[in-house]
């Protein structure tokens, strides 16, 4: 049996700057790729003297430059789970320390909230120089993670500290970084996702347009932070995220039972499912025939899963979604208070390109004190940002 990849779906921006050690970066990309990471590469101008975009692409990297449309640096900064610069030259370290923003790599470094790792590579005297020391101290203070450098023979013929750490050790350092960054280690999260289906007869039923994308992205983002995640999912066409326990359900009543079965093991509850508020009072055993000119169906209320979870003692940290038309904020704020939940994520469903069945979402984040509006972004990014907000608010975890 094959081992589980150690960096499954990790999104790594690899910045390569102009040191001779750049010739080792195709091997670094190959190792990252083999461990399940997704790698986008930014090459500095001088790095191109040592390694080609073609070699990096051949081993699985996507080479990015800033010639495309839009704000590539922002897109890259948001996409990244980590930025790794290897090799990082003395010049690059000085520019990072100064907050330079004059090329794609440095602007992405400034614009990201992801961890920044550097694997320095330079002559030993340059490494020990007071200017480099001061730059490194400043960067370390800003939580930049230093991987190396190693000691040994150098390309310049000298021997000492300044060799780039070997690719396999850089990969091991990243694996450790994520193990340490999993701020939700030991936290048990339950997420509901997708639509429910309320049967009327063996052939027909009532459902809605939810695809489950938001809930699945949240389950993945929680698992990425080390939470143990149970995803209670209505019928969807989505593949379950790796490492997440899935409980497949159809109706709201089944979803409620599955969630309540986890009640003793739930530190965080995220209700991202579009649960039907009503179900047909009677589920017919045989297919309904079209005999009458008009048809009246009586619906009865479904259990409100989110409200029921929020009323548990002690309650888990609860997050709900409010998909609304019309005045988003006031409706969602009232709903948050009524259901007694910690955090309400409100999104409009009457806007072009966001919400139901779209890849993007534009949300308002509402807690008891305030409302914060986020710009429209891919659901995967909204999910990661939401998980950061959950982490901030959980009493026993520290921000990643
Ligand atoms: O009241 P409304 O359906 O707009 O509330 C939406 C939020 O409540 C979502 O988080 C949804 O998952 C949750 N909900 C629920 N059970 C229901 C209805 C909604 O958990 N029966």
Q: What is the pLDDT of residues 316-351, one digit of tens each?
A: 999 999 988 889 999 999 999 999 999 999 998 877
Say how many Å lie between the CA of residue 262 and the centre of ligand 1: 18
Say how many Å lie between the CA of residue 245 and the centre of ligand 1: 22
pTM, rounded to two decimals: 0.64
Q: What is the pLDDT of residues 117-157, one digit of tens each?
A: 999 999 999 999 999 999 999 998 888 999 999 988 888 88
If you write DSSP's letter for every residue of 164-224 in order, what string do you get? PPPHHHHHHHHHHHHHHH-TTTT-EEEEEESB--EESSSS-EE--S--SHHHHHHHHHHHH
- pLDDT score, position 3: 43
- pLDDT score, position 397: 43
Chain center to CA of 8 = 12
Say how many Å lie between the CA of residue 321 and the centre of ligand 1: 7
Of the pLDDT bands very low, low, confident and very high (cuts 50, 70, 90), residue 61 is very high
Is 103 buried (19+), middle (13-18) or exposed (0-12) by CB count in 10 A?
A: middle
- pLDDT score, position 222: 93
Collapsed DSSP state (helix, strand, coil) of residue 101: coil
The answer to whether residue 400 scores a pLDDT higher than 60 is no
Of the pLDDT bands very low, low, confident and very high (cuts 50, 70, 90), residue 396 is low
Q: Is the shortest distance between the CB of 322 and ligand 1 below 6 Å? A: yes
CA neighbours within 13 Å on the CB side: how many for 333? 9
Query: To test the ligand 1 pocket, which listed residue (253, 305, 386) has its Cβ within 8 A of the most ligand atoms?
Result: 305
Q: What is the pLDDT of residues 152-166, one digit of tens each?
A: 888 888 888 999 999
Q: What is the pLDDT of residues 195-216, one digit of tens each?
A: 999 999 999 999 999 999 999 9
Q: What is the mean pLDDT of the chain?
A: 91
Catalytic residue among 109, 136, 156, 262: 156
First to last CA, the chain: 33
Question: Of 175, 167, 126, which Cα lies nearest the Cα of 148?
Answer: 167
If you write DSSP's letter for every residue of 119-140 in order, what string do you get? EE---HHHHHSHHHHHHHHHHH
354-379 average pLDDT score: 88
Q: Is the shortest distance between the CB of 252 and ligand 1 below 6 Å? A: yes
Q: How many helices (H) and strands (E) does the chain have?
A: 13, 22
The answer to whether residue 73 scores a pLDDT higher than 60 is yes
Say how many Å lie between the CA of residue 191 and the centre of ligand 1: 12
Q: Which domains does the chain have, with CATH numbers?
A: 11-177 (3.40.50.1950), 182-393 (3.40.50.10300)
The answer to whether residue 180 scores a pLDDT higher than 70 is no
362-385 average pLDDT score: 92
281-290 average pLDDT score: 95
360-372 average pLDDT score: 93
The answer to whether residue 186 scores a pLDDT higher than 90 is no
Least-confidence region, from 217-221, 227-231, 241-245: 241-245
For this structure, is 156 an active site residue?
yes
Q: Is the shortest distance between the CB of 232 and ligand 1 below 6 Å? A: no
With vertex at residue 243, the alpha carbon angle to CA 195 and CA 182, rounded to the nearest 5 degrees, is 110
Query: To test the ligand 1 pocket, which listed residue (249, 251, 306, 345) has its Cβ within 8 A of the most ligand atoms?
Result: 306
Say how many Å lie between the CA of residue 274 and the centre of ligand 1: 6
CA neighbours within 13 Å on the CB side: how many for 269? 28
Residue nearest to atom 2 of ligand 1 (CA): 322
177-183 average pLDDT score: 72
- Quick one: which H or E segment has residue 117? strand 116-120
Please tell me the distance from the alpha carbon of residue 151 to that of residue 162, in angstroms, as a whole number: 6
Q: What is the pLDDT of residues 80-109, one digit of tens each?
A: 989 999 999 999 999 999 999 999 999 999
Residue 21 DSSP label: G
CA neighbours within 13 Å on the CB side: how many for 196? 27
């Amino acid at each position: 049996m094959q081992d589980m990849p150690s960096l499954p779906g990790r999104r790594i921006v690899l910045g390569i700057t102009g040191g001779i050690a750049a010739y080792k970066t195709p091997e670094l990309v190959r190792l990252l790729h083999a461990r399940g990471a997704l790698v986008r590469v930014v090459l500095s101008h001088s790095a191109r003297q040592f390694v080609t975009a073609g070699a990096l692409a051949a081993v699985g990297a996507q080479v990015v430059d800033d010639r495309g449309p839009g704000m590539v640096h922002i897109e890259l900064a948001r996409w990244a789970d980590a930025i790794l610069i290897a090799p990082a030259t003395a010049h690059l370290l000085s520019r990072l320390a100064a907050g330079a923003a004059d090329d794609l790599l440095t602007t992405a470094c400034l614009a990201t909230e992801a961890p920044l790792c550097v694997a320095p590579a330079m002559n030993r005297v340059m490494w020990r120089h007071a200017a480099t020391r001061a730059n490194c101290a400043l960067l370390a203070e800003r939580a930049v993670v230093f991987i190396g450098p190693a000691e040994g023979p150098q390309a310049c013929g000298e021997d000492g500290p300044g060799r780039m750490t070997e690719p396999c050790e850089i990969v091991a350092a990243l694996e450790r970084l994520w193990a340490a960054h999993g701020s939700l280690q030991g936290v048990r999260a339950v997420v509901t996702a997708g639509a429910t289906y309320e049967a009327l007869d063996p052939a027909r039923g009532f459902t809605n347009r939810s695809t489950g994308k938001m809930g699945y992205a949240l389950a993945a983002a929680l698992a990425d932070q080390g939470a143990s995640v149970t995803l209670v999912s209505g019928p969807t066409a989505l593949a379950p995220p790796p490492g997440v326990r899935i409980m497949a359900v159809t109706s709201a009543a089944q979803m409620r039972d599955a969630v309540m079965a986890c009640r003793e093991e739930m530190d965080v509850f995220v209700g991202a499912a579009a649960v039907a508020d009503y179900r047909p009072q009677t589920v017919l055993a045989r297919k309904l025939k079209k005999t009458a000119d008009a048809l009246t169906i009586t619906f009865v209320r479904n259990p409100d899963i989110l409200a029921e979870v929020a009323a548990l003692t002690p309650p888990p940290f609860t997050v709900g979604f409010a998909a609304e038309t019309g005045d988003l904020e006031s409706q969602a704020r009232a709903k948050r208070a009524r259901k007694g939940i910690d955090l309400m994520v409100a999104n409009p469903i009457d806007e072009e390109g966001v919400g139901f069945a779209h890849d993007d979402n534009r949300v308002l984040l509402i807690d008891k004190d305030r409302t914060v509006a986020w710009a429209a972004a891919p659901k995967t990014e909204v999910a990661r940002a939401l998980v950061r907000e959950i982490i901030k608010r959980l009493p026993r975890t520290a921000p990643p």
